[in-house]
Structure 1
Amino acid sequence: MTDQTQNTLESSKEAIKTQLLNAYKFRHAVKDFDPERKVTKGDFDFILEAGRLSPSSYGFEPWKFVVVQSPELRDKIAVHAGGARRQLASASHAILVLARLPHEMVADSEYISHMLSDVQRLPEEIAKMKRSTYDAFLRTGFALQDNERAMFEWACRQTYLALGNMMTAAAMLRIDSCPMEGFVKHEVERVLAEEGLMDDSRFGLACMAAFGYRAGDSPTPKTRQRTDEVVEWR
């Protein structure tokens, strides 16, 4: 590698770092969006693709993203989502992130077989080995399988990887977002099931997120702990 090429790479890396950190500084949990400003289809497709391409444990993608644009449906959800009413009323786009239920995520489930064979397209012997390793992880590694609540929460944790990536992708485009957990889970799940948007025998609601453009002035600068308070080296 020539010195000129090395210098170009280093310059490019610094530009990427600056762009990414500026996006994190830009992002904040927007409470009120400008209802007149809409995210374009191309930009929102990019945000969704960032979610789709996100990592997950064993690559098993225990998520589904439900984009709710109907004002009537948003109103039905808002009745049971006090912490999301303002965002649901004003955001350009709203996503409800679903997580697969425990029986969907056990090693011998139809869904895991689908992921191994149809999505990851592993040879039979490799798939068998991966299934066995995954089964041991569930039973003894994290000891999840005998605790349905823990198993579901583990699946939810995977969805937050996708959520974070979607929010970062949005911030890179100067699109605002807000992650939300202020809802009565079983009631919103009932609404989604009644509307045919969630198979409640396979999925549960993990979280919500709103996307759009902030209304009003920019927020105050971020408040975060110092690096030496959250990072320790040995």
Structure 2
Amino acid sequence: MNTLEAIRNRRAIKHFDPEHSLSEAEERSLFEATILAPTSFNIQHWRFVVLRDPELRSRIRTEFGNDQSQMTDASLLVLFTADMKAWQKQPERYWVNAPKEVAELLVGWMGPFHEGREWLQRDEAQRSIGMAMQTLMLAAQELGYQSCPMIGFDIEKVAELINLPDDHVMGPMVAIGKGLKDAWPKPGQLPLEEIVVDNSF
């Protein structure tokens, strides 16, 4: 499958085979692809919480997740979070393989760019989460699996359940697995003429 095909075929699937499991190699392949998603300054501040415990997944579904069956039935359930302070934590490690002058330049910019701009730190974290989510879903499509991004859950309660650190932000979940039903028909796309603007509004 080529990239455009994967983009066109990816749909939010709501019903998964609860008996299906991903192999360890497939799961590793998915995450190895996901961490190739871009991040500002190559900070790589996403942190992927793999929800494996069936009891935890069931509790999230019934108490905090609007009874979405994919939370318990998908082969893989990944909660996307990001460390908003990753730019402060040994930033030189993000450029360890770059030429020395490039590494020093980028690491030197990182602090002034983020310092005192909490809104930007949060925005960058969420942008990175979004790119990683799409990368994961397209990688799953390539492996012949279906996916579903989800934000319909109680963010604060789930953050408590996973002991989310104070300097991290919560993003959506992505369910991956073997779909049992086709997606609903495409609900409708806005025409390009309505959403593509040249130069200015």
Q: Is the aligned partner of 1:169 residue 2:134?
A: no
Aligned-partner Cα distance in 1 for 2:8–2:21: 22
Counterpart of 2:136, as a letter, is M
Show structure 1 runs of 5+ residues with no match: 1-15, 140-144
Counterpart of 1:137, as a letter, is F
Whether the 8 Å contact between 1:76 and 1:191 is mirrored in structure 2 is no
Equivalent residue number for residue 8 of structure 1: none
SS across alignment from 2:52: coil
Q: Is the aligned partner of 1:92 residue 2:75?
A: yes
Counterpart of 2:109, as a letter, is T
Aligned in 2, Cα 1:40/1:230: closer, same or farther, shift over 3 Å? farther
**1:179 CA drift (Å):** 0.9
1:130 corresponds, among 84, 106, 111, to: 106
Q: Is the aligned partner of 1:46 residue 2:29?
A: yes
Deviations 1:146-186 (A, max 9, x none): 4x355223212111111111111111222100111112222
Whether the 8 Å contact between 1:23 and 1:174 is mirrored in structure 2 is no
TM-score normalized by structure 2? 0.84
**1:206-217 correspondence runs (5 A):** 206-217=171-182
RMSD of the TM alignment (CA)? 2.5
Q: Is the aligned partner of 1:155 residue 2:130?
A: no
Aligned-partner Cα distance in 2 for 1:177–1:202: 28
**1:24-103 correspondence runs (5 A):** 24-78=7-61, 79-82=63-66, 85-101=68-84
Aligned-partner Cα distance in 2 for 1:161–1:218: 22
Counterpart of 1:132, as a letter, is G
Q: Is the aligned partner of 1:192 residue 2:162?
A: yes
Deviations 1:186-210 (A, max 9, x none): 21111001xxxx4x13423222110
Deviations 1:116-143 (A, max 9, x none): 1x3422677654432332334336xxxx
Higher helix fraction: Structure 1 or Structure 2? 1
Equivalent residue number for residue 95 of structure 2: 120
Aligned-partner Cα distance in 2 for 1:86–1:231: 36
Whether the 8 Å contact between 1:31 and 1:178 is mirrored in structure 2 is yes
